[in-house]
Amino acid sequence: MPIRRLPPETVNRIAAGEVVERPASAIKELVENALDAGATRVEIQADGGGLSRILIADDGHGMAADQLALCVERHATSKLEPDDAGDVDLLRIHTLGFRGEALPSIGSVARLTITSRARDGGDAHQITVEGGDQKPVAPAGFPGPHGARVEVRDLFYATPARLKFMKSERSEAMAISEEIKRQAMAHEGVAFTLDLDGKTVLRLPAEHPGDHGRLKRLAALLGRDFEANALLIDQERDNVRLSGYAGLPTYSRGNAAHQYLFVNGRPVKDRLLQGALRG
């Protein structure tokens, strides 16, 4: 069989499987986009475990019409600035996202609609991508002075095989809730609201950034018992800083279910790090 170039639509759908594995991973990418846009408020809605519908609304700096058209193109990003030689330093990334793959990946496997108004004023605009088919940017209504609303419907409708690997709607909803809790722990200065199937399951006001606000956010998520038994940790060695809260020896759990780790503001799950903490 001769070697052939795959059509762009097929390439995008294959690549989407590496970026968007399940509804929770799609929501993670969209929430991180909102945080990178300077949002102080992020609202998340998910129906049917996120497979039927996802909505992320934020009050970030928003996008103008020309930026909307670019944001759904693969490898187009506002988060990497080339130097005078045209090179990009990938070792000093100060944003949560940088690859420019999330929105085009979602648009290639779902029905994606983005509505936004830029902070510097002007009219709001909207763009729609359905299974990789991009519609023209058009004027649209927007409820706030600036920000973005990203709606995803029928996730993986364009790749039915992926749907066979999804868990139950309840399991997917639990994964979404866990993802938002982790993001909320890492960004105490941002207000989060999570609605699942029309029911508000999480409503967290913005806290003052810093140790006190972080502890209040942890108390809202882990309970007042944790707040009363939390020990502040803040140490630095060889330009590496370790900070956070740990439970007192008298406040112990039989497993690592409530052990949350973050690297540069990113929630991570790493057995090596977890083992080092236990040691």
The predicted pLDDT at position 52 comes to 98
Q: Is the pLDDT of residue 251 over 90?
A: no
For the residues 101-108, what does the mean pLDDT come to?
A: 90
Strand partners, 151: 55, 113
pLDDT digits (tens, 9 = 90+) for 221-247: 999 999 999 999 999 999 889 899 988
What residue ranges do the domains of the chain occupy?
A: 8-204, 211-278
Q: Is the pLDDT of residue 174 over 70?
A: yes
Residue 278 one-letter amino acid: R
Q: Is the pLDDT of residue 276 over 90?
A: no
For the residues 184-195, what does the mean pLDDT come to?
A: 97
Confidence of residue 109 (pLDDT cuts 50, 70, 90): very high
Confidence of residue 254 (pLDDT cuts 50, 70, 90): low
* Element (DSSP H or E) covering residue 194: strand 191-196
The predicted pLDDT at position 100 comes to 66
For the residues 192-210, what does the mean pLDDT come to?
A: 97
> What is the domain class of 8-204 according to CATH?
alpha beta
Q: Mean pLDDT for the chain?
A: 88
Q: Is the pLDDT of residue 115 over 90?
A: yes
Confidence of residue 78 (pLDDT cuts 50, 70, 90): low
Kindly report the three-state secondary structure assignment for every residue of 196-246: ECCEEEEEECCCCCCHHHHHHHHHHHHCHHHHHCEEEEEEEECCEEEEEEE
